[in-house]
Structure 1
């Protein structure tokens, strides 16, 4: 028998691959995507295994304001606390706030976006609500709400989520609008499928790829927001986060005298944001099957 499998670039193509399999195969071939995923996975592992990596930074020490050395990899602050331990434990709170706020924002944005695309009567009011939310000065309002609600991790999660969902809703609505006119949606309506059943069985699976990108980007933005609010003193004073480390360095005057107290938490934030951005770009490229 003659092999009729098409050959592309010297390699046998696999025409029977599903879209998800083609996406995964293309993503694995992108070193930036796999490297970014490895970095994010490492940060998650640091957050989960913080007690095994470094002791919780508390109390006072005798080695104050020491630069990075073999004894203290990231140096010490004005209280003698190890900055490496602060960054490790700060990873736990920053990642927790970022993931929790992102999850809440994704749920709200997903519900609003799908509802606006499927139920055309409420598309107009929901669209106005989303546009109005996106036009608001987010940072001043976040500061105001966080200050009124009181500093805590739960407050940060809710505040960040409330100001993050409109962007998710707009992206989901755009994707869902391209699904509503498809024949299988019309067929589901003809056979008597309820709106809830159609949304659950057909529309949600159709928008999940774009939601996967939104999860990564919303998480990185939530981490940035948490760092900014904590730096302004609106975070939980009883827990460590990357923003809280810089806030305490500012209060102690270490910003000018001990550069290491703010450099390493800033690098941690930069590492997470860059990795999340590159991961989302690589995933979008992998989904573009026409380019492969």
Structure 2
């Protein structure tokens, strides 16, 4: 049974089909997508082009690309020219056996939020078991953001799971708390950040993560207005040299140029002591908001 080609492989073929029309000498470099295409064609006992320059570049035959597309379409797979950028898995499945060609992933507009509201926790406790926090996937397209006074984005998943422990020391109220995300929730979090910065310029957008150069870099590039960290005196006394990875030194020069005035003392503390503090060491201590001040 013939297998479908991945979206990346189809994109490469479609791109080369167009480029070869304008430049018959167009070539591609070795890649996972190219390897996939060549193995697929080998199973059908034909070569779609030829290697040039001692296997350093590959040149497709434009007619063979058209043949590959025809084979796919005849086997009820999507054409290499189909655009799935506005499809989710459900809509893509209506016109292609491989629903994973869809660009809109299941969590594309879902943020993971830490909920500690008593009314919601009580309902869960009554129906299931006693909880101190619920992590809920919330639809960003339906969430009434104007109901919240601040946005808190948490870097590490374990610390996010323990927000109910940190919240008692943070002094915040009516905050929307979300996980910064891995490959599942990061897209929606980025969308949320952009929307919040554009619509709620007077409301805090707070970054709560590791106290290291990478964390500061994320906060600056993300346009956060505040950092949530322990008091500077406590922080200075509890820094750990092993929490200042040497590979992060590459960020230091640029951070010194771009760091907001309100965070310069924190950057100075880190760089002078060559020490940091991971979020997991910040339990059971008072947390402070550090405003960026540009």
Same fold (TM over 0.5): no
Q: For this structure pair, what is the TM-score category when the shorter chain's length is used for normalisation?
A: under 0.3
Q: Give TM-score scaled by structure 2 length.
A: 0.24
Higher relative contact order (CA 8 A, sep 6+): 1
